C-alpha cells in the first residue's frame, strides 16, 4: 500500500472510531480535526532547509506591505485574532476582570467611531488565564461570546506526572474553559520518542473533551527545525486543534522561520487528511508591525481562511497597546502617549 493510501485509510478509520462534535456556539467554520493513529511516515526524514526557511521568512515582510486603510483593516483583524493573556504569579480576580473588560472592548470608543466600525462588535479572540482564574474570566465574559482559554499541564515547563497534568486539564474544563493550551514534554522530542509524545497529547485531547486543544511545542527548546516539523505533525495526528510555538517563557519564542515550518506542516497535514488545524505564535511579539508580519505569513502560506480566529490566534497581549496607538494615529494623524492605551 502506498503512503498516500495508507494515510487515507488511517484518516477514515480515525474519523469512524472517534467522531468529534463541534461544541455548541463554537466559532469554527470547519470540521474539527479528529486526529489519526501515529503515522511516522508523514514526518520521518522530512527535509527542512534552515537557510531556505530563513530566506523565505525574510522575504515575506520585505516584499509585502500594507498601508493606510488596508493597514488599519489588518490591525483590526489582528485584534479579533488575539488571545488576551495574563499569566503572572501575582494574578488576581480583579486583574482578570479588567483584562476581560479590555477583551470586550479592545479599542477606545473614539477610535472605534473614527474607524466607522461601531457595528462590528469587535472583541479579542479569547482571554487566556491560569486554571484557578478561569471561573473569574467566565463570569466576567458572560454574554460576550469571547472564549476563555486556560493553560494547563504544568505550564510552562510541563514537568509534572501525567496524571496530575490530565487532572489540571479536567479542572480547567470543569471551571468553564472553552480552550486548553497544553505544554508537551520536550524530552520526548529531543529523544525522538514520537510514540510517547503522541500518547501524551492524545491523552490530553481526551481529557479536554469538547474544549479545543492548543499544543504548545516550546520550539525554542527543540533544537532543530526538523524536530519542530516532526513535533507539529505528531501533535496534529494526536488530535490538536491548534499548534502553538511557545509558552512565552523560553529564551527564544515565536520567530518567522519557525512559524513557517509549522504552518507548512499544517498545510501538509491538511493535504494528506483534509482537516484544518489552527496556528498560534506566542512570545516575542510586541508591535503592530509584528501583527502584520504574522498575518502576511498566514495569508501567503495557508490562505484567507487562516486569517480568522477559528484558525489563527496571536499570543501577544503586549502588542495590543501599539496596535491601538497605530489605529489612533490613522484616525487622528497624531500619536497618543502610550499611557493612553493601557492594557487593563
On whether residue 297 sits in a domain, the answer given is yes
CATH number of the domain that 177 lies in? 3.20.20.70
On whether residue 309 sits in a domain, the answer given is yes
Per residue in 279-323, pLDDT (tens digit) is 999 998 999 999 999 999 999 999 999 999 999 999 988 899 999
- Measure the CA–CA gap between 255 and 122, rounded to whole angstroms: 27
pTM passes above 0.85: yes
On whether residue 228 sits in a domain, the answer given is yes
Catalytic (active-site) positions: 181, 244, 280
Q: How many domains does the chain have?
A: 1
- Measure the CA–CA gap between 41 and 39, rounded to whole angstroms: 5
- Contact partners, residue 178, CB within 8 Å, separation at least 6: 23, 26, 126, 147, 148, 149, 211, 212
What the block records as the C-alpha cell of 319 is: 502588542
On whether residue 100 sits in a domain, the answer given is yes
The reported pLDDT for the residue numbered 342 is: 63
Locus of grid cell 516584499: 63
The reported pLDDT for the residue numbered 340 is: 67
Classify residue 67 as exposed, middle or buried by CB count within 10 Å of its CB (0-12, 13-18, 19+).
exposed
CB 183, CB 157: distance < 8 Å? yes
Per residue in 49-105, pLDDT (tens digit) is 999 999 999 998 887 678 899 999 999 999 999 999 999 999 999 999 999 999 999
The reported pLDDT for the residue numbered 61 is: 85
The reported pLDDT for the residue numbered 66 is: 86
On whether residue 62 sits in a domain, the answer given is yes
| Torsion 231-275-44-49 (CA) sign | negative
- Measure the CA–CA gap between 124 and 146, rounded to whole angstroms: 7
Please give the residue range of the domain that contains residue 173. Answer: 41-341
Residue 244 belongs to what H/E stretch? strand 242-244
Please tell me whether residue 150 adopts helix, strand or coil conformation: strand
CA angle, 334 then 338 then 343, to 5°:
125
On whether residue 310 sits in a domain, the answer given is yes
- Measure the CA–CA gap between 22 and 337, rounded to whole angstroms: 43
On whether residue 211 sits in a domain, the answer given is yes
Ranges of the chain whose pLDDT falls below 50: 1-5, 7-8, 10-28, 344
The reported pLDDT for the residue numbered 338 is: 66
DSSP 28-76: --SPPP---S--GGGTTT----HHHHHHHHHHHHHH----HHHHHHHHH
H runs (alpha helix) in 151-277: 162-175, 186-190, 194-208, 225-237, 256-273
On whether residue 26 sits in a domain, the answer given is no
Amino acid at each position: 500500500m502506498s503512503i498516500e493510501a495508507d494515510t487515507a485509510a488511517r484518516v477514515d478509520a480515525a474519523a469512524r472510531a472517534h467522531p468529534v462534535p463541534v461544541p455548541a456556539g463554537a466559532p469554527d467554520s470547519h470540521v474539527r480535526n479528529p486526529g489519526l493513529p501515529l503515522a511516522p511516515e508523514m514526518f520521518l526524514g522530512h527535509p527542512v532547509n534552515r537557510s531556505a526557511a530563513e530566506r523565505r521568512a525574510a522575504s515575506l515582510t520585505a516584499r509585502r506591505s500594507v498601508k493606510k486603510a488596508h493597514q488599519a483593516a489588518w490591525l483590526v483583524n489582528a485584534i479579533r485574532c488575539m488571545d488576551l493573556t495574563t499569566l503572572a504569579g501575582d494574578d488576581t480576580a480583579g486583574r482578570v476582570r479588567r483584562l476581560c473588560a479590555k477583551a470586550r472592548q479592545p479599542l477606545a470608543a473614539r477610535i472605534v467611531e473614527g474607524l466607522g466600525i461601531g457595528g462590528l462588535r469587535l472583541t479579542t479572540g479569547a482571554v487566556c488565564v491560569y486554571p484557578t482564574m478561569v471561573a473569574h474570566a467566565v463570569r466576567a465574559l458572560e454574554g460576550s461570546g469571547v472564549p476563555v482559554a486556560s493553560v494547563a499541564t504544568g505550564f510552562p515547563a510541563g514537568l509534572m506526572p501525567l496524571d496530575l497534568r490530565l487532572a489540571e486539564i479536567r479542572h480547567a474544563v470543569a471551571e468553564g474553559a472553552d480552550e486548553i493550551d497544553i505544554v508537551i514534554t520536550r524530552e520526548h522530542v529531543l529523544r525522538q520518542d514520537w510514540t510517547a509524545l503522541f500518547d501524551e497529547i492524545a491523552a490530553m485531547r481526551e481529557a479536554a473533551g469538547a474544549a479545543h486543544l492548543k499544543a504548545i511545542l516550546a520550539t525554542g527548546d527543540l533544537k532543530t527545525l526538523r524536530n519542530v516539523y516532526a513535533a507539529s505533525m505528531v501533535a496534529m495526528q494526536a488530535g490538536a486543534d491548534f499548534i502553538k510555538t511557545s509558552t512565552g517563557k523560553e529564551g527564544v519564542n515565536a520567530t518567522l522561520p519557525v512559524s513557517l515550518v509549522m504552518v507548512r506542516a499544517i498545510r501538509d497535514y491538511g493535504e494528506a487528511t483534509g482537516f484544518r488545524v489552527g496556528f498560534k505564535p506566542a512570545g516575542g511579539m510586541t508591535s503592530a508591525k509584528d501583527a502584520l508580519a504574522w498575518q502576511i505569513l498566514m495569508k501567503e502560506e495557508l490562505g484567507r481562511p487562516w486569517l480568522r480566529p477559528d484558525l489563527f490566534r496571536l499570543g501577544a497581549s503586549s502588542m495590543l497597546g501599539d496596535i491601538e496607538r497605530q489605529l489612533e494615529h490613522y484616525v487622528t494623524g497624531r500619536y497618543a502617549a502610550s499611557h493612553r492605551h493601557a492594557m487593563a
